Structure 1
Amino acid sequence: MSRYCEQCGKAKKACICRWIQVLDAKTELWILQHPSEVKRAIGTARILTLSLPGARLWVGEDFSEHPELNTLLAQPDRDAYLVYPGEAAMPISQLADAPLPAHRRRTLILLDGTWKKAYKIWQLSKNLQGLQTVSLDNAEQGNYRIRKSPKVQGVSTVEAGYLALTALEGEGKFTPLLETFEQMIDTQIRHMPPGVFERNYTS
């Protein structure tokens, strides 16, 4: 009998399914996950795919020739943006101010991995380099208490999804994403050996 939950993929003692709420988003989220993230106990991408029926997740490093992704990107009624910082990135607030015609679909692509791994995906995936990039100008310092980021405003994948959707579709609607995130973190901390969290994450 597996010790992992079949739905969320986490160890049963750290299962997050009880906190998941299914949410309706007009914006589609696609997640490109680096292979090193697949079995991470503290990974947050699964919160998005469980909560948002329209979310998709693919695992890989080079998505240049990914058939399903390329087919979807080629759809003429789709406006796809890559959430990735950079000099050419459009602030998410600016995108939110741009009206979306009723006959078009808006898609945001998130890269799930450390900054180094996300950059590797971006560098290798030629099909992503032709997309308009979007920066999260509504991001403050993330609350990923059990995974340090070298960036002051480093946020987890679920936080990035929450910030992007909130900017585009309004406050309050996607708060359950953060509530599940907080419950996941608290559960992981409770299962750490005594003193590990204080020693490694509060300095």
Structure 2
Amino acid sequence: MSRYCSQCGKAHKACICDNIVALNSLIELIILQHPTEEHRPMGTARILSLSLANSRLFVGEDFREHEELNQLLTEPDVQHFVLYPNDVSRSAREISLSEGQKIRIILLDGTWKKAYKMWQVNTQLHHLPSLHLPEDLTGNYRIRKAPSENALSTVEAGFHVLNIMQPDNDFSPLLDAFEAMIDYQIQQMPAGVFERNYSS
């Protein structure tokens, strides 16, 4: 019998499936997950892919020859964006849904260094318009060191972009599942470890 849940991929004792709520979204998310993130106990991309039927998760670093992804990118009448801040990225607040419009947003799941490498390698993404989130957002990834206060986990980034572009929908269950996952991991730490290593 496998030590890991077949659905969420986490160890059975750390399974997050009970905290997952099925959500509807007009926007489709495509998550490109670096292989080093796939089995991390604290990885968050799986929360998005399990919660949102309108999402896809692909694991790898170089997707230039990834048949399914590249077919999706050539579909007509679909607006594709990459959530990746850079000098020419637009604010997610500038993008609005209109009737009959289909939008896909690509998220890069990995550390900042790994995400940068994925962006460099996957040149087929470079012609797509890129988006950034508001700079005043703060992350709550309490058990993982972040390069700055506004660095977000993948599930937080997905939540905020969906929340901004579909304000009438309630995507808060994504953050609820995220918080439950973090709380469980903190509970497994020896006394004092969290306060010593992660508290400010």
Q: Secondary structure at the match of 1:111?
A: strand
Do 2:135 and 2:150's aligned partners in 1 also have CA atoms closer than 8 Å? no
Q: After the TM superposition, which parts of structure 1 deviate over 2 Å for at least 4 consecutive aligned residues?
A: none
Q: 1:78 to 1:139 in 2, by over 3 A?
A: farther
Paired AA for residue 115 in structure 1: W
136, 141, 147: which is aligned to 1:144? Answer: 141
Distance in 1 between residues matched to 2:67 and 2:136, nearest whole Å? 32
Paired AA for residue 100 in structure 1: S
Give the TM-score of the pair, scaled to structure 2.
0.96
Q: After alignment, is 169-178 or 77-86 more displaced?
A: 169-178
Distance in 1 between residues matched to 2:76 and 2:172, nearest whole Å? 32
Q: Secondary structure at the match of 2:130?
A: strand
Deviations 1:93-128 (A, max 9, x none): 0113xx4341x3100100000000000000000111
Q: 1:139 to 1:50 in 2, by over 3 A?
A: farther
Paired AA for residue 183 in structure 1: A
Identify unmatched segments of 5+ residues in structure 1.
none
Aligned residue pair count: 200
Q: Secondary structure at the match of 2:107?
A: strand
Give the TM-score of the pair, scaled to structure 1.
0.95
Identity fraction in percent = 53
Deviations 1:148-181 (A, max 9, x none): 1112310000000000000111156100000000
Distance in 2 between residues matched to 1:65 and 1:149, nearest whole Å? 31
- Describe how 1:154-165 pairs up with structure 2 within 5 A: 154-165=151-162
Counterpart check, 1:202 vs 2:199: yes
Counterpart residue number, 1:107: 104
RMSD: 1.3
Distance in 2 between residues matched to 1:76 and 1:18, nearest whole Å? 37
Do 1:138 and 1:167's aligned partners in 2 also have CA atoms closer than 8 Å? no
Paired AA for residue 166 in structure 1: N
